Chains A and B, each alone.
Chain A
Amino acid sequence: MAETINQKQNFLKGIVKENPVFVMLLGMCPTLGVTSSAFNGLGMGVATLFVLLMSNIVVSLFKSHIPSKVRIPAFIIIIASFVTIVEMVLEAFIPFLYEQLGIFIPLIVVNCLILGRAEAFASKNNLMSSILDGLGMGIGFVIALTALGVTREILGSGSIFDFKFVSEDANTFILFILPPGAFIALAYLSVLFNKISTKTT
């Protein structure tokens, strides 16, 4: 019984208590870089979720075969392989998203969230916990990126998931789709997120 509760917490911690973006502030490069629209945020989040989950699985499976002195390069190779797979699959089957995300797909390799989870969690825990951890953290990342993307798209271009609700030439806060807007939106969302999550726990 205690085991299942533990696993549930393992999964949920990535979404709320240790949300990678709003609480741990990990993986800021894609977070700030691609979230100029809700769809981009969601696509980036899902791509990262996949890489995170797969690298957690592989690292957890082979953790005892990787000498600790070379673990970082080993993890990076594993992560980079999955990122390259994601990149090729996206280019072949979802070229639209591939074009939108552009340079940020290869940059998933250096997302510290993924290496961080491989190093801090998957290399020390068993397969099941690592899968749940990867899923939880990944979903937390997807939620955060989508929320940020939605906020910035609403304020910056007056639309949501490309559905425009203001007229074509209306003035919107273009600041929010520019890089500084990413920081501002992230800061306020973090405040909001932490305020709500401390209240509920």
Chain B
Amino acid sequence: MGKKESTFINMVVSLLLITLVSGLSLGFINDLTIEPIAKAKLDRKINAIKLVLPEFNNNPVEDLVVVKSEFAKDSVEIYPAFKNEEFVGAAVIGSSEKGFSGLVKIMVGFTPDGTIQNIVVLEQKETPGLGTKMKDEKFLKQFRGINPSKFNLKVTKDGGEVDALTGATITSRAFGESVKMAYDEFLKNLDSNNTSKH
């Protein structure tokens, strides 16, 4: 079996066939994985909501409020939580494009007075082992129970109160910024959240 000669026709045909087959197989795999990927994302969202908010018994995903934001390119998602028809807090998705490798997306849970209940990182592309440490307990715990109106969300290097991650100041900055954005959105939409169920 000799090697095919590099004539123009041969080259075009073989490249065409290869790209065709790879395109088709990728499409096939995409069809197979598109559902599990969407499901994994939704599961993560629901789990995140459960983690960041106090106990609730409505379905925040159904009560989702999407608002246009002046701080972010996309619109901002707010998940209000109610327990027995009473507003107990809201999970707000904050994001920042200023991460070390682009977008950082977090979910911040606020109690009705604006205190941060908990934070979960949803999406990030930071350096493994450095920026990804923003998901660690050690970094996150400094945000719990604080109220951003009395807490400067900049890193200490920039005159704020956030202890930056070692070797990942840029990530920490983006994180602080995302929290700030979530808080601003929360405040702006607090009234509509409060009244939406009454």
Contact = CB atoms under 8 A, between A and B. Distances in A.
Contacts of B128: 33-34, 36-37, 40, 100-102, 104
Interface stretch (A9-17, A67-75, A140-148, A188-196): A67-75
Contacts of B40: 91-93, 95
Contact of B4 (A66, A81, A152): A66
B6 A69 contact: yes
Interface in A70-100: 70, 73-74, 77-78, 80-81, 84-85, 88-89, 91-93, 95, 99-100
B26 A36 contact: no
B4 A78 contact: no
B37 interface: yes
B18 A78 contact: yes
A124 B3 CA distance: 11
Given A34-B128, A37-B129, A102-B128, A67 B10 contact: yes
B33 A89 contact: yes
Interface residues of A, number: 42
A179 B80 CA distance: 42
A6 B22 CA distance: 33
B130 A178 contact: yes
B130 A36 contact: yes
A77 B18 contact: yes
Interface in A160-182: 168-169, 174, 177-178
B159 interface: no
Nearest to A34: B128
A79 to B, nearest CB: 10
B101 to A, nearest CB: 6
B149 interface: no
Contacts of A138: none
A74 B44 contact: no
A65 interface: yes
A3 to B, nearest CB: 20
A169 B136 CA distance: 13
B4 A65 contact: yes
Nearest to A149: B129
A66 B125 contact: no
Contacts of A34: 128
A194 B11 CA distance: 43
Contacts of A40: 128-129
Given A67-B14, A91-B37, 5 more contacts: A67-B11, A81-B25, A92-B36, A93-B40, A178-B167
